[in-house]
C-alpha cells in the first residue's frame, strides 16, 4: 500500500510533511520548520517517528529538529554535500542513493539551485516527491546559491517524473506565484482556471500544497521555458530555454 501523507502547516507559510507506513508503523517527516505542529500531528495519529528527511540547510526547514528529536528520536537523513551545515546526520545521501521508509523506496535527487546541495526525495510507489524550495507550486525557489542553469537542470529532472506524482513543496507562496505566472503566460487557460481555484482555496483557509506534477507542467512557468508562446510574450522568440528561464526567474525576483 502507498504511504499515507499528511501535510503539516508550520510557521507563517511553511509546510512539513509526514508519511506513514501502516504495516511497519514507520513514519518519516520531511523538513522540520518547527517542532510543535509536527509533534501534535504525530500525537493525534499515535504515530512513532522513525525518520527525519532534510532537503536543505535553511533555518526554516531545520530549526525545529532539536526539539522534535528530544521527544521523538529518529534517524536523520540529509545531503552529504550539505552535511557541513546541516544538523548531525545518521545517513548522508547523494543523487542516485536510495533508502526505505516502510514499504517504499525513497530515491534521492540533486535539485540544486535554491541552494547548492538541495535534494529532493522521490517515493515512486507512493507517487510522492518532496521538493521543498526547488520545484514549488507554480514557482521555483529563489537562486540564493545556485545558477539558472543548475535550477533549470533541476526543473528538467523533476519534470521527467510521472505526471500523476504528487509534488510536496515547502511554502504557501502559490497566490503570489499565480499572479506572477499570469504576467508571463497570460493566455494559458489551465493557469487561469488554476488561479481561480487557488483563490477559492485560500479564501476558505485551505492549503494549495501539495499539487500534481501534471498541473505544474501545464501551468508553472518555470517548467515551461521551452514554450514558444512564453518566449514570444517575453519578446524572446528563438531564445534558448535557459535564456527564457533566466529571464523568468529575474522577473519573479523583481515581482
**63 annotated as belonging to a binding site for a ligand:** no
Q: Is 20 a catalytic residue?
A: no
**133 annotated as belonging to a binding site for a ligand:** yes
Q: Is 58 a catalytic residue?
A: yes
What phi, psi does 42 have (nearest 5°)? -65, -45
Query: Which of the following is catalytic: 20, 57, 72, 171?
Result: 171
**58 annotated as belonging to a binding site for a ligand:** yes
Q: Is 84 a catalytic residue?
A: no
Numbers of helices and strands, H then E, in the chain: 9, 14
Query: Which of the following is catalytic: 20, 51, 57, 58?
Result: 58
**51 annotated as belonging to a binding site for a ligand:** no
Q: Is 46 a catalytic residue?
A: no
- Asked if residues 22 and 101 have their Cβ atoms less than 8 Å apart, the reply is no
**90 annotated as belonging to a binding site for a ligand:** no
Q: Is 63 a catalytic residue?
A: no
Query: Which of the following is catalytic: 110, 114, 118, 185?
Result: 114
Using CA atoms, how far residue 230 sits from 88, 102, 201, 235, 244, in Å, is: 43, 42, 27, 9, 8
**171 annotated as belonging to a binding site for a ligand:** yes
Q: Is 114 a catalytic residue?
A: yes
Query: Which of the following is catalytic: 104, 110, 133, 185?
Result: 133
Of how many residues is the chain composed? 255
**60 annotated as belonging to a binding site for a ligand:** yes
Q: Is 56 a catalytic residue?
A: yes
d(CA 57, CA 170): 13
Query: Which of the following is catalytic: 21, 60, 104, 110?
Result: 60
Cis upstream peptide for 36 (omega within 30°): no
Instruction: Extract the C-alpha cell encoding 216.
Output: 505544474
Closest to 245 in 3D by CA, of 140, 122, 161, 134: 140
Query: Which of the following is catalytic: 61, 72, 104, 118?
Result: 61
Binding positions for Zn(2+) are 56, 58, 60-61, 114, 133, 171
Binding positions are 56, 58, 60-61, 114, 133, 171
Active-site positions read 56, 58, 60-61, 114, 133, 171
Amino acid at each position: 500500500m502507498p504511504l499515507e501523507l499528511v501535510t503539516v502547516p508550520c510557521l507563517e507559510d511553511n509546510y512539513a510533511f509526514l508519511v506513514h507506513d501502516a504495516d511497519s508503523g514507520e513514519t518519516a517527516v520531511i523538513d522540520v520548520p518547527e517542532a510543535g505542529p509536527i509533534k501534535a500531528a504525530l500525537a493525534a495519529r499515535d504515530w512513532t517517528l522513525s525518520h527525519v528527511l532534510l532537503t536543505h540547510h535553511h533555518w526554516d526547514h531545520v530549526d525545529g529538529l532539536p526539539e522534535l528529536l528530544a521527544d521523538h528520536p529518529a534517524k536523520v537523513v540529509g545531503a552529504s554535500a550539505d552535511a557541513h551545515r546541516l544538523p548531525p546526520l545518521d545517513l548522508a545521501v547523494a543523487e542516485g542513493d536510495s533508502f526505505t521508509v516502510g514499504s517504499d523506496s525513497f530515491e534521492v535527487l540533486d535539485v540544486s539551485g535554491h541552494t547548492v546541495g538541495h535534494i529532493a526525495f522521490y517515493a515512486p510507489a507512493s507517487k510522492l516527491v518532496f521538493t521543498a524550495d526547488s520545484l514549488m507550486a507554480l514557482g521555483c525557489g529563489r537562486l540564493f546559491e545556485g545558477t539558472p542553469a543548475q535550477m533549470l537542470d533541476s526543473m528538467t529532472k523533476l519534470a521527467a517524473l510521472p505526471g500523476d506524482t504528487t509534488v510536496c513543496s515547502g511554502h504557501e507562496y502559490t497566490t503570489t506565484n499565480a499572479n506572477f505566472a499570469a504576467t508571463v503566460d497570460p493566455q494559458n487557460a489551465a493557469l487561469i482556471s488554476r488561479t481561480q481555484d487557488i483563490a477559492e482555496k485560500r479564501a476558505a483557509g485551505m492549503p494549495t500544497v501539495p499539487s500534481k506534477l501534471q498541473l505544474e507542467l501545464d501551468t508553472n512557468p518555470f517548467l515551461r521555458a521551452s514554450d514558444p508562446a512564453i518566449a514570444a510574450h517575453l519578446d524572446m522568440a528563438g531564445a534558448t530555454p535557459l535564456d527564457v528561464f533566466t529571464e523568468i526567474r529575474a522577473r519573479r525576483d523583481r515581482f
